[in-house]
């Protein structure tokens, strides 16, 4: 008879073996033509990115072990043994190759992918040799400024001089903020990759609703890459065999945030265009806002420099873990909270401005309720 340990290990092996077969079929030229002819290119991109990510993840685990690129326990980290990093490299490769193999590129897309790769490379160096938070932040801002120069910028405010500079400022705050928020929330098995997949599928649905196939294909590629990685990073009983590392979490956050800038979210209102991505990314925005306010109010940080360098255990997953006492329940709770808040964005295409405002207020109230519950539980 098979014992439970063998069964759990075999599941990951099955995923890897099936992914190898699927990928081998998909790389045949006739396969892509078949999916394209039937109008289901999105499914081809999903299967391609999923299978390639699942195929590469165990390989990157071996590379990380060989090079000793490991995440050691201690400090704010809640895992109990050293775990290989570089899982994010598999996602970066799978995402980019799935798009290039499908010729889903234009000028702005090349700029977008190039920016994501630069951010990922810097984070890879950080995973291996460590790079200061200030240097990483500086490089991220420089990459965003370059993207703005090439036309990837918010169109939220009127096209006046002051409107342009407000658009520039909010573009920097949005992309850099979401990028680092995704990195901060990567503190439990499956959390960042799962949130990335949920956000990506919500963005993909809105993209196809609003007739933006290019945006939809990118979102699907990210979803498939994250889902292909998840079996090796999240299990109901077995701990992760590999982590994303900063490479994966910053890349996922950067690409999704930049894609949201590039997308057209509504036909009739700037307020609705603003509300839709805010709802989809709400869990990340909420976590960043909460820790910023709490750290300032409690005196933990008293300057921008200290805020950048501060590392704590006050993120949403830490707080909910102290309440629920179980890592997997905490991750699943955040999954459902993220999906619940993000689903509202799907209804906003033809909504009135007041509808967008009310849904954002609703999201705020829901997270206030969650905050009261977890804060009360933490005090008890």
DSSP string, 11-63: HHHHHHHHHHHHHHHHTSHHHHHHHHHTT-HHHHHHHHHHHHHHHHHHHHHHH
DSSP character at residue 312: -
Of 77-81, 198-202, 301-305, least confident by mean pLDDT is: 77-81
What's the pLDDT at 299? Answer: 78
Residue 1 has pLDDT above 50, yes or no: no
Q: How does residue 378 score in pLDDT terms, banded at 50, 70 and 90? A: low
User: Tokens representing 78?
Assistant: 């809640």
- Do residues 63 and 86 lie in contact, with contact meaning Cβ atoms separated by under 8 Å? yes
Exposed e or buried b for every residue in 235-256, given b needs 16+ CB within 10 A? beebebbbbbbbbbbbbbbbbb
Q: Which residue has the higher pLDDT, 72 or 6?
A: 72
Q: How does residue 373 score in pLDDT terms, banded at 50, 70 and 90? A: confident
What's the pLDDT at 6? Answer: 46
- Do residues 8 and 238 lie in contact, with contact meaning Cβ atoms separated by under 8 Å? yes
What's the pLDDT at 17? Answer: 92
Residue 362 has pLDDT above 80, yes or no: yes
Of 24-33, 84-93, 242-251, least confident by mean pLDDT is: 24-33
Cα distances from 284 to residues 89, 181, 280, 289, in angstroms, run 22, 6, 9, 9
Mean pLDDT of 364-378: 81
What's the pLDDT at 7? Answer: 44
User: Half-sphere exposure of residue 302, counting CA atoms within 13 Å on the CB side?
Assistant: 1
Exposed e or buried b for every residue in 178-203, given b needs 16+ CB within 10 A? bbbbbbbbbbbbbbbbbbbbbbbbbb
What's the pLDDT at 370? Answer: 87
Q: By C-alpha distance, which of 183, 186, 194 is closest to 335? A: 194
Mean pLDDT of 143-159: 88
Domains of the chain, by residue range, sit at 7-264, 265-380
Residue 247 has pLDDT above 80, yes or no: yes
- Do residues 377 and 322 lie in contact, with contact meaning Cβ atoms separated by under 8 Å? yes
- Do residues 377 and 323 lie in contact, with contact meaning Cβ atoms separated by under 8 Å? yes
Q: Are strands 70-71 and 83-84 parallel, antiparallel or unpaired?
A: antiparallel
- Do residues 111 and 150 lie in contact, with contact meaning Cβ atoms separated by under 8 Å? yes
Residue 380 has pLDDT above 70, yes or no: no
- Do residues 287 and 367 lie in contact, with contact meaning Cβ atoms separated by under 8 Å? no
The rounded distance, in Å, linking the Cα atoms of 230 and 347 is 28
pTM, to two decimals: 0.90
What's the pLDDT at 375? Answer: 73
What's the pLDDT at 76? Answer: 56
> Which of 174-178, 293-297, 304-308 is most confident?
174-178
How far out from the chain centre does Cα 54 lie?
17
The rounded distance, in Å, linking the Cα atoms of 328 and 307 is 29
Q: How does residue 4 score in pLDDT terms, banded at 50, 70 and 90? A: very low
Mean pLDDT of 83-96: 93
Mean pLDDT of 205-217: 86
Residue 128 has pLDDT above 90, yes or no: no
Residue 192 has pLDDT above 90, yes or no: yes
How far out from the chain centre does Cα 239 lie?
21
Q: How does residue 2 score in pLDDT terms, banded at 50, 70 and 90? A: very low
What's the pLDDT at 35? Answer: 86
What's the pLDDT at 74? Answer: 57
Of 78-92, 103-117, 300-314, least confident by mean pLDDT is: 300-314
Percent of the chain residues past pLDDT 90, beyond the cut = 43
């Amino acid at each position: 008879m098979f014992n439970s340990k063998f069964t759990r290990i075999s599941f990951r092996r099955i995923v890897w073996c099936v992914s190898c077969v699927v990928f081998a079929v998909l790389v045949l030229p006739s396969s892509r033509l078949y999916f394209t002819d039937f109008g289901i290119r999105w499914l081809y991109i999903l299967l391609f990115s999923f299978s390639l990510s699942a195929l590469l993840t165990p390989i990157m685990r071996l590379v990380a072990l060989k090079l000793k690129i490991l995440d050691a326990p201690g400090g704010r980290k809640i895992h109990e043994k050293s775990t290989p990093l570089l899982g994010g490299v598999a996602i970066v490769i799978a995402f980019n190759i799935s798009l290039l193999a499908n010729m889903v590129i234009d000028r702005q897309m090349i700029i977008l992918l190039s920016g994501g790769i630069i951010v990922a490379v810097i984070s890879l160096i950080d995973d291996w040799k460590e790079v200061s938070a200030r240097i990483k932040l500086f490089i991220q801002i420089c990459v965003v400024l370059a993207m703005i120069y090439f036309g990837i910028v918010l169109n939220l405010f009127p096209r006046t001089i002051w409107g342009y500079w407000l658009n520039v400022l909010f573009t920097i705050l949005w992309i850099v903020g979401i990028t680092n928020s995704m990195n901060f929330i990567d503190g439990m098995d499956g959390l960042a990759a799962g949130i990335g997949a949920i956000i990506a599928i919500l963005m993909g649905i809105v993209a196809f609703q609003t007739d933006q196939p290019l945006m939809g294909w990118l979102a699907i590629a990210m979803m498939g890459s994250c889902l292909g990685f998840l079996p090796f990073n999240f299990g109901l009983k077995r701990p992760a065999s590999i982590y994303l590392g900063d490479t994966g979490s910053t890349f996922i956050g950067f690409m999704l945030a930049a894609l949201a800038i590039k997308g057209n979210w509504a036909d009739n209102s700037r307020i609705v265009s603003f509300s839709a991505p805010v709802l989809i990314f709400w869990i990340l925005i909420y976590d960043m806002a909460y820790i910023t306010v709490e750290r300032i109010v409690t005196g933990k940080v008293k300057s921008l420099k200290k805020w950048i360098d501060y590392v704590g255990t006050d993120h949403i997953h830490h707080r909910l873990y102290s309440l629920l006492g179980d890592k997997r329940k905490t991750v699943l709770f955040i999954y459902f909270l993220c999906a619940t808040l993000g689903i509202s964005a799907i209804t906003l295409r033809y909504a009135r401005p007041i509808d967008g405002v009310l849904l954002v207020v609703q999201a705020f109230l829901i997270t206030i309720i969650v905050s009261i519950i977890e804060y009360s539980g933490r005090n008890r």
